[in-house]
Amino acid sequence: MSAAGEIKGITPPDIRLRKGQTPLVCLTAYTTPVARLLDRHCDIVLVGDSVGMVLHGLSSTLGVTLDMMIMHGQAVRRGLEHALMVVDLPFGSYEESPEHAFGNAARVMGETGCSAVKLEGGETIAETIRFLTARGVPVMAHVGLTPQAVNTFGGYRVQGRGADAERIRRDARAVTEAGAFSLVLEKIPEPLARQITADIDIPTIGIGASQACDGQILVSDDMLGLFTSFRPKFVKRYAELGEQAEAAIAAYATDVRNRHFPAVEHLYVNALKAGDFT
């Protein structure tokens, strides 16, 4: 392919310039095949720590390790040419100090080839975001419901209701001023998400937030109907692949037990030659 025909990958500055423009399309991926499916349609592909619940059967994201994120990040990288790849820093990998966060972020970027990392938290993590961005690590921020703080919140509850809205507004301002290039708003009241989107100068990416956000993100397995353990209100199912897959598996099992598979068309019945077994 000539240089003129190469696909230009999206960068963090490109995303920042999309503020107020055509909404950003964002989905999660954890494997190469899914990354290839998403690449031509998405602006951002997030290797989310949701992988712990979606693929590894964990009850929350808290058990996800840095090595797990790197392994899945490497797989996703092989499937992308166009979309911006962002990798979550998992719980415990960035809270200790800005220096600790930088070491882990640098490792993730170096070993996966991602272009940015995502950190959960607002005012409490702003110093770390400032430290990272000053040293060449683009950061996507994440406020509102932050799943790594599920124990602090007492569950996956809507955040920012009533007087608590001011906390979310302060968090959004803090991470913006610290240098984040975009901000995920998760599970907060629609008017609050709309107001924050209007008030800050970086793109907001909603998940259970507002249509007014500068983009939207969902977990791919939720959107495709592959993950069925629970279904948040903010998820729209665009397919029911889990049901289709189970039906296909059941049909295969029936065919095998009844000796209907493999059939003649699946066998090499005319390939036997003298000496094949020597």
pLDDT at 167 over 80: yes
Share the mean pLDDT of the chain.
94
CB 241 within 8 A of CB 33: no
Please provide the DSSP assignment of the chain as one string.
Answer: --GGGSPPPP-HHHHHTTTTSSPEEEEE--SHHHHHHHHTT-SEEEE-TTHHHHTS--SSSTT--HHHHHHHHHHHHTT-SSSEEEEEPPTTSSSS-HHHHHHHHHHHHHHH--SEEEEEBSGGGHHHHHHHHHTT--EEEEEES-GGGHHHHTSS-----GGGHHHHHHHHHHHHHHT-SEEEEES--HHHHHHHHHHSSS-EEEESS-TTSSEEEE-HHHHTT---S---TT---S--HHHHHHHHHHHHHHHHHTT-SS-GGGS-TT---TTTT-
Question: Closest Cα partner for 69 from 26, 37, 98, 112?
Answer: 112
* Range from 4-8, 41-45, 270-274 that averages highest in pLDDT: 41-45
What mean pLDDT do residues 171-199 have? 98
**For position 105, what pLDDT does the model report?**
98
Q: Which residues are catalytic?
A: 186
The string of pLDDT tens digits covering residues 24-66 is 999 999 999 999 999 999 999 999 999 999 999 999 999 999 9
Kind of pairing between the strands at 204-207 and 139-144: unpaired
CA distances from 12 to 104, 181, 195 (A): 19, 6, 23
Residue 146 — φ and ψ, nearest 5°? -110, 105
d(CA 161, CA 159): 6
pLDDT tens per residue, range 217-259: 999 999 999 987 778 899 999 999 999 999 999 999 999 999 9
Contact 79, 96 (CB under 8 A): no
- Which pLDDT band holds residue 1 (cuts at 50, 70, 90)? very low
Distance separating alpha carbons of residues 92 and 78, to the nearest angstrom: 27
Residues 67-71, mean pLDDT to the nearest whole number? 98
- 3 band by pLDDT with thresholds 50, 70 and 90: very low
- Residue 14, strand partner residues: none
Q: Which residue has the higher pLDDT, 192 or 269?
A: 192
CA dist 202 and 192 (Å) reads: 16
pLDDT of residue 6: 47
